[in-house]
């Protein structure tokens, strides 16, 4: 199961794997009881975990950064129902949290969700690394595409300049031919006049 496919659903506890999407909702699988169901987007909202940010005393951080701190900490995971223990835990594990804006209910969710990761063997750190590589590859691809577009535009400009120069040369050649033809006509008319005299 991939971290990038995990979502939370408003009005429904726990975490879910996004199995499929439809125009009017999504098919999701519960990480808790493994049940699969259709959830209407008219009644619920979906949030991908990888897009959720958390308030800190500095800049906001992605939720996965909190999970990484939890994984690297030696502090025991508290019972998510014990609000006081949960807050004390995050004060030690992730002291940068803005505890005035991050509610106790949000911290309880993070404890529960982390428990689901362990139960389902979800490696969110690996997913983060893969995502960074994908972003890097995408940036390189975009840069290559921009380079190709620039080269194509340059070639088109050169071709346009060549065509323009050719048209100008053809026009001058046509004007020169017309001038020569006019001079020949005048010369011929003059000669004819001489013979008549």
CATH number at residue 20: 2.30.30
pLDDT digits 0-9 by tens, 44-95:
999 999 999 999 999 999 999 999 999 999 999 999 999 999 999 999 999 9
Q: How far is CA 185 from CA 24, 172, 174, 178, in A?
A: 82, 20, 16, 11
On whether residue 155 sits in a domain, the answer given is no
Give the pLDDT of residue 154. 60
Residue 35 lies in a domain: yes
Q: Which domain holds residue 35?
A: 1-51
pLDDT band at 135 (very low <50, low <70, confident <90, very high): very low
- Number of residues that this document lists for the chain: 197
Residue 189 lies in a domain: no
Counting Cα atoms < 13 Å in the Cβ hemisphere of 11 gives: 8
* The pLDDT of residue 36 is above 60: yes
User: Quick one: pLDDT at residue 181?
Assistant: 59
Mean pLDDT of the chain: 79
Tokens of 117: 């990761």
**How sure is the predictor about 166, in pLDDT bands with cuts at 50, 70 and 90?**
low
pLDDT at 47: 92
Rounded to a whole number of angstroms, the CA Rg of the chain reads 36
Residue 37 lies in a domain: yes
In a domain, 21, yes or no: yes
Examine residue 157 and state whether it is found in any structural domain, yes or no. Answer: no
User: Per the structure, how many domains does the chain have?
Assistant: 1
* CA 162 – CA 30 distance, rounded (Å): 65
The answer to whether residue 25 sits within a structural domain is: yes
Give the model's pLDDT for residue 194.
40
Residues 125-148, mean pLDDT to the nearest whole number: 51
Secondary structure (DSSP) of 148-161:
HHHHHHHHHHHHHH
With respect to residue 140, please indicate whether it lies within any of the assigned structural domains.
no
């Amino acid at each position: 199961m991939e971290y990038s496919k995990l979502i939370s659903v408003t009005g429904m506890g726990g975490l879910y794997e996004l199995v499929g999407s439809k125009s009017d909702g999504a098919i999701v699988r519960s990480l808790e009881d493994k049940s699969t169901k259709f959830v209407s987007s008219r009644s619920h909202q979906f949030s991908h975990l990888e897009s959720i940010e958390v308030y800190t005393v500095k800049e906001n951080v992605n939720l996965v950064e909190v999970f990484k701190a939890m994984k690297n900490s030696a502090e025991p995971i508290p019972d998510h129902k014990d609000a006081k223990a949960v807050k004390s835990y995050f004060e030690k594990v992730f002291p940068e949290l803005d505890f005035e804006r991050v509610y106790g209910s949000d911290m309880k969710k993070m404890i529960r969700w982390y428990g689901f990761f362990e139960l389902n063997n979800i490696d969110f750190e690996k997913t983060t690394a893969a995502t960074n590589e994908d972003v890097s590859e995408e940036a390189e691809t975009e840069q290559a595409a921009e380079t190709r577009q620039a080269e194509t535009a340059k070639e088109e400009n050169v071709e346009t300049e060549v065509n323009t120069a050719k048209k100008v040369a053809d026009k001058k050649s046509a004007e020169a031919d017309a001038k020569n033809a006019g001079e020949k006509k005048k010369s011929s008319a003059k000669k004819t006049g001489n013979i008549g005299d």
